[in-house]
Amino acid sequence: MHDARLEKARRRLDHNAALLAPTNSTPLHVFDREIQGAAGPRRCRVYRPFAVPGGVVPGLVWFHGGGFVLGSLASHDGVCRALACQAGIAVVAVDYRLAPEHRFPAGLEDAIAVARWILDHGEALGLDSRSIAVGGDSAGGNFAAGVTQALRGAQREPSFQLLVYPATDATRREPSHVHFRDGFILTDNSIDWYLTHYLADAELTRDPRVSPIFARDVSGLPPALVMIAGFDPLRDEGALYARRMTEAAGDVETVCSEGSMHGFLNTAGVIDESARLLGLAADRLRRRLFAVA
């Protein structure tokens, strides 16, 4: 992606994701809704099962990946549809502001603001506000982790966090960044490109809002499923963040798909292992969120 001009890279991700995305035969009620972000309304897309008894259903607030620079409601449409269908929940995908037009912390602040609104007003979208998870992949996993840290102790907090190959340490100090720096989809050069667009100052890499792993305290966070890939430069930082939460008495399940690469969730339409992992994520969402509801 980083070899192309910005707008071309964005179109390329949307196009490629559609080719590889899972398909679902179960009909959903899908509609767009503007929700207040940090600096104005943000477009969100709601995927909701039909014929829900009681009128409300548990939900997932989803932040797409794309290195804080790429990605859209279109790039992760298939993933969101599959999670909604297989888990039997509503999914709200958030179109947060992207860099470099809006550098850190704009996107994260949008994520926090939208998640807070949904937790407070979920019933307006047909969601059960008592049982709402946050989740995302890659940069979106970074935002999901940041949201749970920011909302810890709030009157309403997320019930669960789904972190899929999350970016948790922008300093890139873990061995997997050396092992898989080239040739495995997410390369060292591409990470340079993303972070240069996202951060105005390289010193920000140690800010806990950029690198959640540097938070002094990760106790009291919601239960989590952390999914990582064996051939991914982000593998070790995802595992380390999961371990930190576990050591802080957190309820954390870590799943590593040893033979997968970064971005596997978006290939669930063509790779059996990716489809299995997406199904596992949906299973955990269903079990956790309906237990709360």
Give the residue numbers marked as catalytic. Answer: 138, 232, 262
Query: Beta strands 41-49 and 90-94: pairing type?
Result: antiparallel
Integer Cα distance of 163 and 167 in angstroms: 9
92 and 30 Cβ atoms separated by less than 8 Å:
no
Integer Cα distance of 231 and 46 in angstroms: 32
203 and 170 Cβ atoms separated by less than 8 Å:
no
- The tokens describing 218, both together, are 């990760």
- The amino acid at 187: T
Residue 133, H or E segment: strand 127-137
Helix (H, G, I), strand (E, B) or coil at 239: helix
Going by C-alpha positions, the residue among 233, 273, 252, 73 that lies closest to residue 148 is: 252
Rounded to 10°, the helix 77-87/272-292 angle is 50
Total residues belonging to the chain: 293
| Alpha-helical segments (H) within the chain | 6-20, 77-87, 106-121, 139-151, 176-179, 188-198, 235-247, 272-292
Per-residue buried b or exposed e for 191-208, using 16+ beta carbons within 10 Å of the residue's own CB: bebbbebbbeeeebbeeb
